[in-house]
A and B are shown apart, each in its own frame.
Chain A
């Protein structure tokens, strides 16, 4: 769920001058970070000998480590800078992507879906599809996922290098090569174990580097009410601090989104699709040491996800209250020499952080980028090795052979990502298409996995044809609007809908197509016998109970606590 708006709008025409200048102590802070992540990779190599070690971290992670890693793999630098920029542009509406666009799905993953992923002992989400529906569904899912993952990795790499150029004046080639070689080394050496260790470290650094902006910003504005008063004074007539009040019409809010799009498109299909079926994040939870830890990990992740707006959205809102002159769109910024929305986080960083603290803030951005890239690369290595190479190329090799393949695949994944980064540099419009590609696959996959887990009548043919039909329908709708923009009124229910709204409604329709085709084909074809569905489907699986545990140790209790906090926050900021 990262957004590409920064690099898209910065583009090659961005001004060459840098926003920040680092002191020697800042450089030492950044250098120490690189030394530590590489050191962890070399240290962990001796602990990754088997396939389970390399691809699933030995399935020994505690709930806390798996949960923080689960969240860190998603908390990329573009996520931080992009949503801070979105908060400056759209106000608190950007919080929807952290709350309704994440929390219910994460809790659903932990309580409902995780038992099936975990008990089936699958290595990956495509691996689950193989067990549930057969080889064809796995192949379709694995190939699309692998393709998407390296493309996204390359695009993120390019975007981050561009951000470093604009913010610090660093050479794009230097940023791309140093960061990607570092990720290749530590993931190639220690596999998922190394990726998870570093993601926990990166998670801590992201918080420590970004939290200070919000704290000092609130001191400067005199707290939340002082900040709101300043925003009203700076932007009279605009509503930047309410989550739901302006959602009654497409034209009442700057995002051009109706509440049905947010609830059904973002909150249901896109969010559930991403958080419950994207192997990039699910892989971290599969590494948990037991079923209870696997269920708790997404719940712990949800608790922290709910707090991320404090370090991402709040700096954007503080920028609205404090920064003069106001920030503008990228084109206007380039024309006038001013600053754009996308620079709000580095501008706030420069506003409050002196030597040392500035290095920590930049390290947080670099850590965010590397955690996202490591997530892509380790997931790609697993899916390639187990779901493509082992399934389609060489079925009977030794475990050591697959580990070696995984290590090489990590290197190859990084090299392909670098190639993608340079390709994007030449053809910037690729980013438009890849962002759309991401939505093509996730929504239908969620329909397939959900029906597969909860409906034992769902047949192998139904699973495959539903997934294919959902994906093709999504591509078809996207092409239809590209060829005939007036089709937007059919896809997004309004000609006033913007890109984000179109994405959400397209995801919703493609999910519905997937579900309808899956159900119809399943009813017309032969299902698997129940004996083959044990451990895979609700009603055929004996999920271990938690009645013997004290209530405070039960995942469902903590899911309830997080759900209550989620509802309360939405009411408070209604």
Chain B
């Protein structure tokens, strides 16, 4: 391996998922308190909140597990 300091792809995946998780959960929570004028079908499931939360959780795991500091 001649690229020992190369950051893992899974770290980049984790960072993006964390960012998306925060944005989508935030948008979901905003929709909870300020319902949209044209709600989506099954909007009462609040998919944005739990799907965003899932992205955030997955992203956190990948970001921490494949962090460049832990890889050294």
Among A25-33, A223-231, A370-378, A413-421, the stretch that binds chain B is A25-33
Can you list 28 A-B contacts (CB < 8 A)?
A25-B24, A25-B27, A28-B23, A29-B20, A32-B19, A32-B20, A36-B16, A58-B2, A196-B9, A201-B9, A201-B13, A204-B17, A208-B20, A216-B47, A220-B41, A351-B40, A352-B40, A352-B41, A352-B47, A354-B27, A354-B39, A356-B24, A356-B26, A356-B28, A356-B52, A357-B24, A357-B48, A359-B23
- Our count of residue pairs bridging A and B at CB distance below 8 angstroms stands at 90
Shortest Cβ gap from A121 to chain B (Å): 17
Q: A352-B47, A353-B47, A357-B47 are in contact. Are A25 and B12 (CB under 8 A)?
A: no
Interface membership of A184, Cβ < 8 A = no
Report yes or no: B41 in contact with A356, Cβ–Cβ below 8 A.
Answer: no
Report yes or no: A40 in contact with B47, Cβ–Cβ below 8 A.
Answer: no
Report yes or no: B42 in contact with A355, Cβ–Cβ below 8 A.
Answer: no
Report yes or no: A356 in contact with B27, Cβ–Cβ below 8 A.
Answer: yes
Q: A60-B3, A200-B9 are in contact. Are A355 and B48 (CB under 8 A)?
A: yes
Q: How far is the CA of A219 from the CA of B40 in the complex (A)?
A: 14
Q: How far is the CA of A113 from the CA of B63 in the complex (A)?
A: 36
Report yes or no: A60 in contact with B36, Cβ–Cβ below 8 A.
Answer: no
Report yes or no: A354 in contact with B3, Cβ–Cβ below 8 A.
Answer: no
Report yes or no: A47 in contact with B23, Cβ–Cβ below 8 A.
Answer: no
Q: How far is the CA of A29 from the CA of B48 in the complex (A)?
A: 13
Please name the residue on chain A nearest to B2 by beta carbon: A58
Contact of A219 among B6, B7, B45 (CB under 8 A): B45
8 further contact pairs, Cβ within 8 A, besides A352-B47, A360-B24 = A29-B23, A29-B24, A36-B16, A47-B6, A60-B1, A65-B9, A204-B17, A208-B20
Q: How far is the CA of A40 from the CA of B1 in the complex (A)?
A: 20
Interface of A is mostly: helix
Q: How far is the CA of A350 from the CA of B39 in the complex (A)?
A: 10
Interface membership of A212, Cβ < 8 A = yes
Report yes or no: A32 in contact with B9, Cβ–Cβ below 8 A.
Answer: no
Encode A48-89 as 1/0 by CB contact (under 8 A) with B. 000000000010100001000000000000000000000000
Q: How far is the CA of A417 from the CA of B47 in the complex (A)?
A: 39
Report yes or no: A353 in contact with B40, Cβ–Cβ below 8 A.
Answer: yes
Q: How far is the CA of A356 from the CA of B40 in the complex (A)?
A: 13
Interface membership of A384, Cβ < 8 A = no
Interface of B is mostly: helix
Chain B residue contacts of A60, Cβ below 8 A: 1, 3
Contact of B41 among A28, A36, A205, A351 (CB under 8 A): A351
Shortest Cβ gap from A289 to chain B (Å): 8
Report yes or no: A208 in contact with B23, Cβ–Cβ below 8 A.
Answer: no
Q: A58-B3, A60-B3, A219-B45 are in contact. Are A355 and B36 (CB under 8 A)?
A: yes
Contact of A352 among B6, B42, B52 (CB under 8 A): B42
Q: How far is the CA of A43 from the CA of B11 in the complex (A)?
A: 13
Interface membership of A538, Cβ < 8 A = no
Report yes or no: B9 in contact with A355, Cβ–Cβ below 8 A.
Answer: no
Encode A170-210 as 1/0 by CB contact (under 8 A) with B. 00000000000000000000000000110011001100100
Q: How far is the CA of A40 from the CA of B11 in the complex (A)?
A: 11
Report yes or no: B40 in contact with A197, Cβ–Cβ below 8 A.
Answer: no
Encode A78-115 as 1/0 by CB contact (under 8 A) with B. 00000000000000000000000000000000000000
Chain A residue contacts of B42, Cβ below 8 A: 216, 219-220, 352
* B23-67 at interface with A (beta carbon < 8 Å): 23-24, 26-28, 30-31, 36, 39-43, 45, 47-48, 51-52, 55
Chain A residue contacts of B6, Cβ below 8 A: 47
Q: A354-B40, A355-B48 are in contact. Are A204 and B13 (CB under 8 A)?
A: yes
Q: How far is the CA of A393 from the CA of B3 in the complex (A)?
A: 32
Shortest Cβ gap from A220 to chain B (Å): 6
Report yes or no: A33 in contact with B52, Cβ–Cβ below 8 A.
Answer: no
Chain A residue contacts of B48, Cβ below 8 A: 354-357
Report yes or no: B45 in contact with A216, Cβ–Cβ below 8 A.
Answer: yes
Report yes or no: A208 in contact with B7, Cβ–Cβ below 8 A.
Answer: no
Chain B residue contacts of A353, Cβ below 8 A: 40, 47
Contact of A43 among B7, B19, B41, B45 (CB under 8 A): B7
Shortest Cβ gap from A354 to chain B (Å): 5
Q: How far is the CA of A43 from the CA of B9 in the complex (A)?
A: 11
Report yes or no: A354 in contact with B43, Cβ–Cβ below 8 A.
Answer: yes
Chain B residue contacts of A351, Cβ below 8 A: 40-41
Report yes or no: A47 in contact with B3, Cβ–Cβ below 8 A.
Answer: yes
Shortest Cβ gap from A198 to chain B (Å): 9
Report yes or no: A25 in contact with B45, Cβ–Cβ below 8 A.
Answer: no
